[in-house]
Chains A and B, each alone.
Chain A
Amino acid sequence: MKERTTPFIIDNLRGNKQFPTVWCPGCGNGVVLSSIVRAINKLGIDKNYVTLVSGIGCSGRLPAYVDVNTVHTTHGRALAYATGIKLAKPEMEVIVVMGDGDSLAIGGNHFIHTARRNIELTAIIINNRIYGMTGGQYSPATPTGSISTTSSYGNIDQPFDISKMAEVAGAGFVARSTVYHVAEVEKFIEKGIEKKGFSVIEVLSNCHTYYGRMNKIKGPVDLLNYFKDNTALNTTNIQGNEDKIQRGIFVDRDVRGFIEEYENVIVKARRQKKYSRT
């Protein structure tokens, strides 16, 4: 095992970056990081043609460790930056990593509009249902009733269903898994990258430091077990699983992506070019 893992790490993570990561021990972000790296590798994409973009929060720190082009942008705006990067370099695989607060609260508008455009990006939303970096405040994905440092009496908001929202907003590919289901996450990311339009992969993740501690699911193992026991693959028998969180691929449709459509705009514009300056 060690013989295989070490060169893989050297090849794909940044040697000049200090490890361990900034994340708490046992954080689910590491699972997502390694899944992304393995998916890129499996697809055999040249590292120079991958750009990893993030916003702000614990997830925002993820790209810095990976030896590809990496851009750590502002809170909530990662998809807007990524849109510019992708349009400037259409040949680039642009993968955007965001948290639930990052992508759904401050970045919620960018999220639905990026889905509406169905632009050729892959968005990975690490949903730990809390603001971790700032100390455990409730997020738009925090379940109703949950305790956070800003909902001491229980959260009264309804949580967003990220995957459903991505679906209705127009994303070409939408899938959900959890950090317990590592192989599944990797597979979905791989499929998402391969998909032409906008792909959204929601990964339920554990923040035992804040969400778990305040909501009585104490350690990382407890949270991983929670994901194991409380989720069900959407292709399995639904009987007995009605109350569980669904995992799986929810949307996989062929809708023309923004860049594909823009090529047509260029063709039309060139045809109609008859500009006189005076």
Chain B
Amino acid sequence: MNDTTEVGEGMKRCEIILAGIGGQGLLLSGLILGDSAAISEKLYAVQIESYAPLARGGSSSSDIVISDEEITYPRIEKADILIALASSSYNENKHRVKEDGVILFNSNGGEIEDDPRVIKAPLTDIAVESTKRAITVSMVSLGFIPYMTDLVSMRAITSSIARKAPTGTAEVNISAAEAGAKFAEELFADKK
């Protein structure tokens, strides 16, 4: 499955929104996704964070543009992928996603309307099961990325976590991402 946009002469550009509420570890996961594209995959990436003034509880999102060429325009026009960790994140960002884009919605994060773009997965449950910590939910969601775009591999993600996660947290974050990837593998196998 590949939602990457082909632009110009074979240039690939993929726009991803990670959205949730404060305290779900989104800023770290945004940094890791960007880093895994830019450093581990040797592509280019731009990441812009936006967050409510309150560190916890407010809406928070990370916009990531990945390309195989240097990125001039850093903003997301229409996202290829949205990962929404809560229903409010879905509602705030659904209009920013392409009609043929993919939305990964955390089914533990409330109820949302019917939307043909949505794939649901119990991301918080997976986080708690794999690491006993709900905060790793955004790392779980990163495990789905390799199944939604071919620009970033699981190996790139784990290597970025190992380098970028705060001291002593790499292992638990990698477990979360791998648990996500395992769930995604079955989920996307079913879809095919």
Interface residues of A (CB under 8 A from B): 276, 278
Q: Across the two chains, which residue of chain A brings its CB closest to B160?
A: A278
B168 to chain A, nearest CB (A): 13
Mask of B145-183 contacts with A, CB within 8 angstroms, 1/0: 000000000000000000100000000000000000000
Mask of B17-51 contacts with A, CB within 8 angstroms, 1/0: 00000000000000000010001000000000000
Report the Cα distance A278→B159, complex, angstroms.
12
B76 to chain A, nearest CB (A): 25
Report B-chain residues with C-beta under 8 Å of the C-beta of A276.
163
Q: Across the two chains, which residue of chain A brings its CB closest to B163?
A: A278
Q: Across the two chains, which residue of chain A brings its CB closest to B39?
A: A278
Report B-chain residues with C-beta under 8 Å of the C-beta of A278.
35, 39, 163
A49 to chain B, nearest CB (A): 43
B135 to chain A, nearest CB (A): 24
Main secondary structure of the interface of A (DSSP, over half): loop
A-B pairs, 4 with minimum CB distance: A278-B39, A278-B163, A276-B163, A278-B35
Report A-chain residues with C-beta under 8 Å of the C-beta of B35.
278
Report A-chain residues with C-beta under 8 Å of the C-beta of B39.
278
B36 to chain A, nearest CB (A): 11
Report the Cα distance A276→B163, complex, angstroms.
8
A271 to chain B, nearest CB (A): 15
Report the Cα distance A135→B65, complex, angstroms.
63
Report the Cα distance A278→B34, complex, angstroms.
12
B32 to chain A, nearest CB (A): 12
Q: Across the two chains, which residue of chain B brings its CB closest to A274?
A: B167
Report the Cα distance A202→B35, complex, angstroms.
58
Can you report 4 residue pairs joining A to B where beta carbons are below 8 Å apart? A276-B163, A278-B35, A278-B39, A278-B163
A68 to chain B, nearest CB (A): 49
Mask of B91-120 contacts with A, CB within 8 angstroms, 1/0: 000000000000000000000000000000
Report the Cα distance A278→B35, complex, angstroms.
9
Report the Cα distance A278→B32, complex, angstroms.
11
Q: Across the two chains, which residue of chain A brings its CB closest to B164?
A: A278
Q: Across the two chains, which residue of chain B brings its CB closest to A276?
A: B163
A222 to chain B, nearest CB (A): 62
Q: Across the two chains, which residue of chain A brings its CB closest to B35?
A: A278
Report the Cα distance A278→B39, complex, angstroms.
8
A153 to chain B, nearest CB (A): 48
Report the Cα distance A44→B35, complex, angstroms.
59
Report the Cα distance A276→B35, complex, angstroms.
14
Q: Across the two chains, which residue of chain A brings its CB closest to B167?
A: A274
Report the Cα distance A97→B27, complex, angstroms.
49
A274 to chain B, nearest CB (A): 9
Report the Cα distance A156→B108, complex, angstroms.
67
A275 to chain B, nearest CB (A): 12
B27 to chain A, nearest CB (A): 18
A188 to chain B, nearest CB (A): 51
Report the Cα distance A278→B163, complex, angstroms.
8
Report the Cα distance A8→B192, complex, angstroms.
96
B155 to chain A, nearest CB (A): 16
Report A-chain residues with C-beta under 8 Å of the C-beta of B163.
276, 278
B74 to chain A, nearest CB (A): 21
Report the Cα distance A11→B35, complex, angstroms.
64
Report the Cα distance A276→B170, complex, angstroms.
15
Mask of B71-88 contacts with A, CB within 8 angstroms, 1/0: 000000000000000000
B158 to chain A, nearest CB (A): 15
Report the Cα distance A276→B162, complex, angstroms.
12
